[in-house]
């Protein structure tokens, strides 16, 4: 993750300036417009360094008990709830 771009290990990339709640992943055509190609290369290199960071035991456990991935809309709603809760405190 850079200040403006976030890349997930599954390849989804988000521009946090224009999409702070990560509701819409960037497409290949968006990369050139946002100037994100350099960030993509750098972030992918970092992810590649950690590609074998999880122990085999953990990977086997995750494969045996898969969790449903949250949609970007669900993640955004959760972030909004957390922000509202933090403001109330």
Kindly state the DSSP code that residue 3 receives in the 8-state scheme. S
For residue 38, the enclosing domain spans 5-88
**CA-wise closest residue to 5 among 28, 20, 86:** 20
pLDDT digits (tens, 9 = 90+) for 42-68: 888 888 888 777 777 777 777 776 666
**CA-wise closest residue to 74 among 84, 82, 66:** 82
Tell me how many domains the chain contains. 1
Contact yes or no for 21/72 (Cβ under 8 A): yes
- Reduce the DSSP state of residue 5 to 3 states and report it: strand
pLDDT digits (tens, 9 = 90+) for 23-35: 888 877 777 665 6
């Amino acid at each position: 993750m850079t200040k403006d771009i976030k890349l997930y290990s599954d390849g989804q990339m988000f521009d946090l300036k224009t999409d702070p709640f990560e509701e819409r992943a960037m497409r290949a055509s968006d990369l050139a417009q946002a100037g994100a190609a350099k960030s993509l290369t750098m972030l992918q290199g970092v992810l590649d360094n950690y590609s074998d960071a999880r122990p085999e035991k953990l990977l086997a456990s995750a494969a045996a008990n898969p969790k449903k991935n949250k949609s970007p809309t669900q993640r955004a709603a959760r972030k909004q709830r957390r922000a509202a809760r933090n403001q109330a405190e």
